[in-house]
Amino acid sequence: MENESLKKELLKSLPGVDHIFTQIQKNMISNNIPRTVIIDSIRTCIEKIRLSILKNHNTLSSKDLDDSTIIYKVNTLIAKTLALNLKKTINATGVILHTNLGRSVLPEEVLKNITAVSSGYSNLELNLSTGKRGLRYSCVDDILCKLSGAEAAMVVNNNAAAVLLCLETIAKDKQVIVSRGEMVEIGGSFRIPDVMVKSGCILKEIGTTNRTHVKDYENAITDNTGLLLKVHTSNYSIVGFSLSVSLNELHSIGLKHKIPVMEDLGSGTFIDFSKYGLTKEPTISESIAAGADIVTFSGDKLLGGPQAGIIIGKKKIIDKIKENPLTRALRIDKITLSALEATLNLYRDEKKAIRSIPTLKMLLSPFSEIEKKAEMLNNLISNIKSTKLSATLLAKNSKAGGGSMPLLKLQSKCIGLKSDTLSTRKIEKFMRANNPPVIGRIEDNLFIIDLRTVKEKEIPIIAKAVKQITERI
């Protein structure tokens, strides 16, 4: 009975929505917060307290019902409601093309162009020389052909869309021959056999997982063969007793039987990374030179631009693709297009591209630079002077990611955080809850901060996040 009366008393002293609203308005510095957001937040907070009174009032004190306590909670909720969900995040994973973290970081020049084009009207579909309606892809036609050596080009939403569109246009209801060694699945459920079904093509698998011969293609060709497809095994590698048919050989087979050859390059790059001591990735121009009729690749993998699917190749086929009604459903928007053109523009000068495209810069970053950043962070953390959290400088490897260069190990320098009183999982969670979130990786029971993917100006922010953790434990 005593319990019931205490409950009643607490419920009675719960302030009303109007009362809190007036209090909040009195103290509000700016009046920019929409009234509905304030009211909803007050309602939510009061309702929460009401429920806890009903459920477990023993844990509540009258202080929990104070105006100041409630107002504090309401303000926190308002801030949370108004904060945007998609936000800047610090990538301390060392994975350069991290799909969960948005893949490519765009260059300054690209950001400027996005603002310039999108802050007003643009000639997106207007041909400025004729005054007539133009094609939206035309702005990247010339540069794509120049950089790749292809006859024609067009762009869509992403590479998955590019593959789907090409298959549907070139080989709907026909047989498409693919080696079993190239039956790729990439993250996010893109699988070659499934895309084949969705595009209305009939998949003809040939060869074995590790070895496919020219004769396997030759033997599989029928009157209903519409395409020979080569898929770059971007996120895995078949090593040991293996054999695959080169694009050159595929081109000869295609020529002999009058069947087009397409290559899904996945990542796609204009730069020969072997020149810089990294793994050799087939370049886009090599694929065109080898005789591929159609080549598709992503805009936001090794290219370092915005999400896009780029299609280049023979004009006759590209013209057909442009007429496919699916194109309208997969089309690229003007923000992306302005970003893509500005990115491609940087490739006119390879040195400039490497200097200004963050993806390339991080990939080719000299070890000494990463080491310098690691030491900077280590110094800031050691100044924190906590006995509860320790930091160690570690030599580790980082990865290219984004389904590219799967075997590549990039020498990197990291900080490993550890605490006797806080689990590594909790450290990871606290860092993730930071504003901005700091995303690292857990290895050997340490929270690893890989400096390859961290910008210099982000280092003090990470140190501050670490300091806040030490204050909480």
Ligand X SMILES: *Cc1c(COP(=O)(O)O)cnc(C)c1O
Tokens of 197: 């079904």
- Which is nearer to ligand X, 263 or 293 (by Cβ)? 263
Question: Which member of 186, 206, 302, 410 binds ligand X (CB under 6 A)?
Answer: 186
Please report, to the nearest 10 degrees, the dihedral formed by the alpha carbons of residues 430, 433, 435, 437 taken in order. 90
Instruction: Kindly state the DSSP code that residue 249 receives in the 8-state scheme.
Output: H
Q: How far apart are CA 422 and CA 15, in angstroms?
A: 38
Map the footprint of ligand X across residues 282-321, applying CB under 6 A: 298, 309
Q: What's the min distance (Å) between Cβ of 297 and ligand X?
A: 8
Segment contacting ligand X (CB under 6 A): 203-211, 246-254, 262-270, 342-350? 262-270
| Angle at which helices 315-323 and 159-171 cross, to 10° | 100
Map residue 75 onto helix, strand or coil: helix
Q: The tokens 């319990």 sit on which residue?
A: 3
Please check whether residue 23 is in contact with residue 38, taking contact to mean a CB–CB distance below 8 angstroms: no
> In this structure, what token pair is assigned to residue 434?
């930071």
Considering the complex, state which of residue 195 and residue 438 has its C-beta at the smaller distance from ligand X: 195
User: Amino acid identity of 81?
Assistant: T
> Considering only 28-36, 159-167, 423-431, 455-463, which stretch makes contact with ligand X by CB under 6 A?
159-167
How many Å apart are CA 408 and CA 386, to the nearest integer? 37
Q: Which is nearer to ligand X, 46 or 186 (CB)?
A: 186
* Options 6-14, 111-119, 156-164, 354-362: segment touching ligand X (CB under 6 A): 156-164
- Give the separation between CA 247 and CA 409, rounded to whole angstroms: 27
Decide: is 359 part of the binding site for ligand X (CB under 6 A): no
Q: How far is the CB of 241 from ligand X (least distance, A)?
A: 23
Q: What HEC string does 280-344 produce?
A: CCCCHHHHHHCCCCEEEEECCCCCCCCCCEEEEECHHHHHHHHHCCHHHHCCCCHHHHHHHHHHH
Which of 73, 232, 373, 452 contacts ligand X by CB under 6 A?
232
With beta carbons less than 8 A apart as the criterion, state whether 424 and 418 touch.
Answer: yes
State in angstroms the smallest separation of the CB of 206 from ligand X: 18
Q: For ligand X, which residue has the nearest CB?
A: 266
Print the binding letters for residues 403-422 with ligand X: x by CB under 6 A, - otherwise: x-------------------
Out of 158, 225, 378, 419, point to the residue binding ligand X (CB under 6 A). 158
Q: How near is the Cβ of 235 to ligand X at its closest, in Å?
A: 6
Q: Of 152-160, 270-278, 280-288, 439-447, which segment contacts ligand X by CB under 6 A?
A: 152-160
Q: Which stretch binds ligand X (CB under 6 A): 74-82, 173-181, 182-190, 364-372?
A: 182-190
How far apart are the two ends of the chain, measured CA to CA in Å? 41
Strands 175-179 and 202-206 turn out to be parallel
Q: Which of 93, 104, 234, 453 binds ligand X (CB under 6 A)?
A: 234
190 binds ligand X (CB under 6 A): yes
Binding residues vs ligand X (CB under 6 A): 158-160, 163, 184, 186, 190, 231-232, 234, 264, 266-267, 298, 309, 403
